[in-house]
Structure formats: C-alpha cells, structure tokens
C-alpha cells in the first residue's frame, strides 16, 4: 500500500504564552499544500518495522523515527505484524512545512486502513497528538484554525482558490527550540480569525508570524527571501511555522514557467 502525504503552511502564527506542560499556547491557520512525500508499506517476514529512506537526505533518525513511533503506538494496542516501509522524502526538513508530522499522520492512517483497525478519526487525532503538536492536523488534512499546542482544530475556510502560492526553501535547517527561546509575545496583535477575513492584500499589515523576528535575527537570509517575494509582487509573504521556508501569495501566476499553484483545495 502506498500513500502520498502533503505539507502545510502556517498563515499567521500567534504565540499567546507558555503553558504549564512546557508547550506554548498558539493560534495559527494551517492549510495543506501540494508538496508531498510518499510512504509505502509492504508485508515482511520479520518482526517490527524496517525502514528504507530515499529522496532528501535527513539528519540521523530524522523523519523515519516518527514513522517508527507511529507504528509502535498502534503496535502496543493491536500487535501488528512486521512491515517494511519505504519513505520517499521531498518535503524539505526543518522548513516549517510539517513534513515529519505529515509522515506520522500518514503512517497512522495507512496502518488503520491496511489492518482494518476501525479507529475513528477523533481517536486518531488523540493518538497523533502523542507524536507531535502538528500531527493531528494531518489526520483530516483540511484548512483549519489551530490552537492549544496544536491539538485543537477548527475547520476554517479562507477562499484562496483564485490565488497562486510560491514557496521558497532557503536550505536552512531552523532550530525550533532556538527560535522559541528568543521569541517575544506581542499582546496587542489582532486575533487571527479577525485578521484573515480581511482582503489578502491587507494581510501584510494584519497577519503576522510571531516567530519571524527571532528567526530573522538568527538567520537573516530568511528575511531576505521574504523581501524578494514582495519585490516580485506578492500580496502577502510570510515564514511558515518556525521556518525556514517562506511563501508568497500572488494575485496571478508569478511566471509563465512556474508550476501549478501549491494551494490545495
């Protein structure tokens, strides 16, 4: 069985404070985008999960490890047979696009389907939250307002069907912990739901990623990418998540040679 698991971008990211569990209380709008990894599982005559990686080279244990954790999580309850997993990576790593989280959610969904475990999506989201803050989003994989530490999801639609998105990966592996350690909270930032109902052309002055300032201090190249997108005519540009990827939303196709829009419906 094979599945393709897409990336996401954050349109706006508000950091509201530190929680008692050590995580941050946040508010963000996640949308799926059409950059995809592929996962294939094959029956095997050994115990456990063995993983073959291809595509983008990952840090040691990166990406594949979270797929193993997803397998182990279900194996504890259902005693799964041995499997081989082939993970083809094309989603950049450490880029704020949720590639590892998408892989983990895809693994849960794939195992649920292959072995007919009959786990409802609500329960899958609870399991997904044990694997990472962004993983629950990829279970239903629909545009959503995200809150809590990422586990609270509220479907929320902003019509971007007539716009184009360009994503640039500057090739920097951002340290999420390092960026969170440097960020500051702006209590006066407009509520994200209110900001997103404004025209896209107004987002530049109302929809903010609270982690950008810290990320730009650590990695000035990311800020340069954002300015390039605005220079190229983007209505709105922002770093996704804790970076390092930056996306621009355009009113029309930026270049005749560009691929189809990355925004998924």
| Contact indicator for 75, 117 with CB cutoff of 8 Å | no
Residue 18 falls in which region: left (phi positive, over 0), alpha (psi -120 to 50) or beta: beta
169 is catalytic: no
* 238 has a pLDDT exceeding 60: yes
- With bands split at pLDDT 50, 70 and 90, how would you rate the model's confidence at 179? confident
Q: How confident is the model at residue 255 (pLDDT cuts 50, 70, 90)?
A: low
The superfamily (CATH) of domain 158-250 is GHMP kinase, C-terminal domain (3.30.70.890)
> pLDDT of 46-105, one tens digit each?
999 999 999 988 766 454 589 999 999 999 999 999 999 999 999 998 899 999 999 999
From the list 19, 122, 111, the residue with the least C-alpha distance to 72 is: 111
Q: Which of 117, 114, 152 is nearest to 133 (CA)?
A: 152
List strand residue ranges (DSSP E) for the chain, in order.
Answer: 2-18, 24-43, 49-55, 83-89, 144-148, 152-155, 164-168, 236-239, 246-250
Candidate from 24-33, 191-200, 246-255 with smallest mean pLDDT:
246-255
Measured CA to CA in angstroms, residue 155 lies from 40, 68, 233, 240 at distances of 29, 29, 29, 19
| pLDDT for 172 beyond 50 | yes
Backbone phi and psi for residue 113, each to the nearest 5 degrees, phi listed first: -75, -50
Q: Is the pLDDT of residue 24 over 60?
A: yes
Of 105-114, 184-193, 219-228, 241-250, least confident by mean pLDDT is 184-193
The tokens describing 258, both together, are 């560009």
The region of weakest confidence among 72-76, 183-187, 192-196 is 183-187
Q: Is the pLDDT of residue 258 over 90?
A: no
What's residue 265's pLDDT?
Answer: 41
Mean pLDDT of the chain: 90
pLDDT at 60: 60
Here the tokens at position 103 are 């892989």
- Whether 69 is a known active-site residue: answer no
Residue 23, pLDDT score: 73
Q: CATH number of the domain at 2-154, out of 3.30.230.10, 3.30.43.10, 3.40.50.2000, 3.40.30.10?
A: 3.30.230.10
Give the start-to-end residue ranges of the domains of the chain: 2-154, 158-250
Instruction: Give the pLDDT confidence score for residue 259 in this predicted structure.
Output: 47
d(CA 12, CA 27): 8
pLDDT at 166 over 90: yes
Farthest-apart Cα atoms in the chain, separation: 58
Q: Which residue has the higher pLDDT, 189 or 95?
A: 95
Whole-angstrom distance, CA of residue 12 vs CA of residue 18: 18
Instruction: Considering only residues 58 and 155, tell me which one the structure prediction assigns the higher pLDDT.
Output: 155
Which residue in 205, 239, 247 sits closest to 219, CA to CA?
239
| Residue 254 pLDDT class (50, 70, 90 cuts) | low
3-state secondary structure (DSSP) of residue 11? strand
At residue 82, φ and ψ (nearest 5 deg) are -70, 145
The catalytic position among 134, 169, 210, 226 is 134
CA distance 9 to 99: 10
> Which residue pairs from 226-234 have beta carbons closer than 8 angstroms and sit at least 24 positions apart in sequence?
228/168, 229/166, 229/168, 230/204, 232/166, 234/166
């Amino acid at each position: 069985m094979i599945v393709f698991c897409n990336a996401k971008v954050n349109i706006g990211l508000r950091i509201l404070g530190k929680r008692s569990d050590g995580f941050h209380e946040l508010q963000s709008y996640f949308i799926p985008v059409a950059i995809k990894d592929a996962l294939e599982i094959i029956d095997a005559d050994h115990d456990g999960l063995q993983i073959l990686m291809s595509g983008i080279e990952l840090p040691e244990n990166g990406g594949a490890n979270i797929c193993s954790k997803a397998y182990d999580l279900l194996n504890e309850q259902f005693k799964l047979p041995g499997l081989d997993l082939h993970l083809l990576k094309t989603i950049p790593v450490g880029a704020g696009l949720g590639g590892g989280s998408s892989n983990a959610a895809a693994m849960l969904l794939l195992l649920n389907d292959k072995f007919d475990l009959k786990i409802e999506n609500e329960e899958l989201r609870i399991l997904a939250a044990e694997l990472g803050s962004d993983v629950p989003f990829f279970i239903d994989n629909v545009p959503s307002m995200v809150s809590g530490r990422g586990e609270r999801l509220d479907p929320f639609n902003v019509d971007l069907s007539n716009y184009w998105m360009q994503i640039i990966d500057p090739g920097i592996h951002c340290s999420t912990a390092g960026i969170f350690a440097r960020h500051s909270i702006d209590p006066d930032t407009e509520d994200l739901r209110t900001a997103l109902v404004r025209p896209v052309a107004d987002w530049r002055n109302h929809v903010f990623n609270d982690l950008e300032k810290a990320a730009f201090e650590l990695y000035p190249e990311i800020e340069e990418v954002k300015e390039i997108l605005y220079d190229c005519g983007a209505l709105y540009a922002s770093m996704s998540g804790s970076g390092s990827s930056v996306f621009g939303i355009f009113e029309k196709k930026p270049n005749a040679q560009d691929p189809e829009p990355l925004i998924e419906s």
